[in-house]
Structure 1
Amino acid sequence: MGRYPGTENEECSVGLSETARGNDGDAVAVDVGAKINPHLGVGPVRADGLHELTTVYQAVSLYDTVTVRPGKRGAGISLAIEGEGAGDLPTGEDNLAHKAAKLLALYANVEPDVDIHLRKRIPVAGGLAGGSADAAGSLVACKRLWNVDIGREQLDQLAGGLGSDVPFCLYGGTAVGTGHGEKVEPLETQASYHWVVATSHTQISTPECYKEVDRLRENGIGRYSDDIRELCRAYRDRAEPDELAHLLVNDMEAAAVSLRPDLASVMHGGLEEGALTAHVSGSGPTVLFLARDAQHASALARRVKMRGGVRAVLTAQGPVAGPEA
């Protein structure tokens, strides 16, 4: 397993660069990257109560590691969490990684006797899809542990049943998402981009943010940004970071700032420190700053951290591959 440079620096992401079989018996460990949305267009509410989405996903190098081992016969699924969210996140059936293991066991008709360990580095409830990443990692790790013969279409269906971001987290890279985000089409790009990720002391629930999007639109604030042609072209053409910066969109940003006004100060501060652009990540409250390169990202992270008002500041680059890529 390779480790990304700078992993001893608290401003940097810590992660492994590959998916691998563990060294202790039948343990299987996979790394799953966080998700950002360079474009997040939120449409009207559908008949099923979900919002139509047009989004561009990108996986970045903030990793959770999902490790699975055979459990005691008849003991069922056990789950332990280390790192981000330990002691706060559920470890039972409410955890998406737990649900993923149970769902795959039902599909494969195997006993779900498995011990799951989550080493979490992706910020919790930060708009970075950490829970979805864990679900994707659990599906892939358990599939390998149990030697489940499952095609991509079937795996994608199981993933989509767990959450809209889970199918993307399986494969990572850069992709276009439609429907409620669960319909994923890969988007080729050879360029790599560098981000500063500023996490907040507060949280915003995704349902809360969607409700605020609807409320603001009832008052004439915001619209559905469903045109992603220029952004897709920029990715295909290896656009420079300063060009990409002008194409990033998040229809949930106004709602997130309405719910947490302090986010505006964080974004403004990063721009003053030289970020090419600043955006709320997904439903927030994490803020993303685009940098010119790795050196700029590292310097920008230090300056953002010195300004205060954030819980932690990390650096990441993307796209990175998912565990099933």
Structure 2
Amino acid sequence: MVTATAHGKINIHLGVGPKREDGYHELATVFQSISASDTLSLVRGEGTVSEGSPVVGMEVSQSVPGEVPTDSSNLAWRAVDAVVEHYRGEHGSITLPQVTISLFKGIPVAGGMAGGSADAAAALVATDHWLAGEYGLDPLGKRGLHDLAAGLGADVPFVLMGGTALGRGRGDELIPMMSRGTYHWAVITSNEGLSTPSVFAKLDELREQRDDLEPHMWTERVSEALSSGNYGLLTACLRNDLQPAALSLRPELRTVLQVGFSQAGNSGIVSGSGPTCVFLCPDEEWARMIAAAVPAEVPGTSGMVVSGPAGGAAVVD
């Protein structure tokens, strides 16, 4: 019926401020979308519904390991329902065909690369395209999609937009950033994921015990490096305030970084909340070398090569 794709992300810089009253932390992060992507299709069923969710099931295939929920707790399912609820709120009762979500995952699961957010973003644009086109209704537009995305998760607005951007607030207050050239990354994933809330909680705990974990909320040097297209300058700007917490919870990630550093110098960090580690490389060949070398020495890891920046979520069929 309709197919959309959305890309994963890497946090080139992630500054984490104090916890806010709403439970989230204040962030200053530089996102870059990457070539790894998930593809989502809405497949028409035979029945119809005039209220409630039109989704009757979910099928998942994947090129990456990890468990993906296939019920209404899945973020993509929730995204479809959010768009449907919006349209019904604007236009009254709409009788819809039942649909099945078919999802192919190419973004590592629970790896801090916004795989679930990508599924939600793809579901948002696919459902909006379907309802606006088939029923002759006004589409949500960028602002409407962004507002629904922000209600689904902090990373969903960026994945919806793509490119390179500065994220403030929860990471959903976005300012596009100039980025020249193509950047090549070796991505090392782990068989065992890390819970994002647990990593933030560990950072709070570590900051109570140590005085050397100040927030890094300034991103001017990253902006200068990206606008120049200089690989060396950007390498020196890689930073993640969550890295000490991720390493505390998963000490074996230190080995991943050490092996990667032996091949690439100090050009690697834990990405986002982890456990994925990323290494910025001068070219694709170098990235392939690291993506092969680290798993050969560190059991329980896999390597892949991606490039960025990539685009935002978009309908492809």
What TM-score do the two structures reach when normalised by structure 2? 0.90
Q: Is the 8 A contact 1:41 1:250 kept in 2?
A: yes
What is the identity, as a one-letter code, of the residue corresponding to 1:228? T
What TM-score do the two structures reach when normalised by structure 1? 0.88
Q: Distance in 2 between matches of 1:292 and 1:257?
A: 26
What is the identity, as a one-letter code, of the residue corresponding to 1:116? I
Name the structure 1 match of 2:186: 196
Name the structure 2 match of 1:123: 108
Name the structure 2 match of 1:299: 289
Structure-to-structure mapping, 1:83-232, within 5 angstroms: 83=62, 88-109=67-88, 110=94, 111=96, 113-147=98-132, 149-220=139-210, 221-232=212-223
Deviation string for 1:101-132 (max 9, x for gaps)?
Answer: 00000111243732211101111111001000
Name the structure 1 match of 2:4: 30
Matched, 1:274 2:264: yes
Q: Distance in 2 between matches of 1:112 and 1:280?
A: 43
Name the structure 1 match of 2:19: 45
Q: Is the 8 A contact 2:35 2:308 kept in 1?
A: yes
Deviation string for 1:118-153 (max 9, x for gaps)?
Answer: 101111111001000000000011111222511211
Name the structure 2 match of 1:260: 250
Q: Distance in 2 between matches of 1:52 and 1:81?
A: 34
More deviation, 49-58/302-311: 302-311
Matched, 1:313 2:303: yes
Q: Distance in 2 between matches of 1:305 and 1:86?
A: 15
Q: Distance in 2 between matches of 1:86 and 1:138?
A: 21
Q: Distance in 2 between matches of 1:223 and 1:309?
A: 33
Name the structure 2 match of 1:233: 224
Cα distance change on mapping 1:200 and 1:86 into 2, 3 Å? closer
Q: Distance in 1 between matches of 2:127 and 2:19?
A: 35
Name the structure 2 match of 1:57: 31
What is the identity, as a one-letter code, of the residue corresponding to 1:230? R
Structure 1 counterpart SS, 2:264: coil
Q: Distance in 2 between matches of 1:146 and 1:94?
A: 22
Which stretches in structure 1 are left out of the alignment for 5+ residues? Answer: 1-26
Cα distance change on mapping 1:202 and 1:86 into 2, 3 Å? closer
Name the structure 2 match of 1:251: 241
How far off its partner does 1:70 sit?
A: 2.4
Structure 2 counterpart SS, 1:140: helix
Cα distance change on mapping 1:86 and 1:252 into 2, 3 Å? closer
What is the identity, as a one-letter code, of the residue corresponding to 1:158? L
Moved over 3 A (4+): 84-87
Name the structure 2 match of 1:15: none
Name the structure 2 match of 1:73: 47
Q: Is the 8 A contact 2:65 2:109 kept in 1?
A: no
How far off its partner does 1:218 sit?
A: 0.4
Cα distance change on mapping 1:50 and 1:87 into 2, 3 Å? closer
Q: Distance in 2 between matches of 1:243 and 1:39?
A: 13
Q: Distance in 1 between matches of 2:215 and 2:36?
A: 29
Give identity over the alignment, percent: 39
Q: Distance in 1 between matches of 2:278 and 2:4?
A: 25
Cα distance change on mapping 1:103 and 1:86 into 2, 3 Å? farther
Cα distance change on mapping 1:86 and 1:264 into 2, 3 Å? closer
Deviation string for 1:135-181 (max 9, x for gaps)?
Answer: 00000111112225112111100000000100111121000101101
Q: Distance in 2 between matches of 1:98 and 1:84?
A: 20
> What is the alpha-carbon root mean square deviation over aligned residues?
1.7
What is the identity, as a one-letter code, of the residue corresponding to 1:60? I
Q: Is the 8 A contact 2:8 2:113 kept in 1?
A: yes
Q: Distance in 1 between matches of 2:255 and 2:203?
A: 20
Q: Is the 8 A contact 1:102 1:112 kept in 2?
A: no
Structure 2 counterpart SS, 1:273: helix
Structure 1 counterpart SS, 2:203: helix
Q: Distance in 2 between matches of 1:323 and 1:300?
A: 29
How far off its partner does 1:80 sit?
A: 1.1
Structure 1 counterpart SS, 2:73: coil
Q: Is the 8 A contact 1:35 1:169 kept in 2?
A: yes
Deviation string for 1:256-297 (max 9, x for gaps)?
Answer: 000000000110001112355110010000110111111111
Q: Is the 8 A contact 1:126 1:285 kept in 2?
A: yes
Q: Is the 8 A contact 1:35 1:57 kept in 2?
A: yes
Q: Is the 8 A contact 1:198 1:310 kept in 2?
A: no
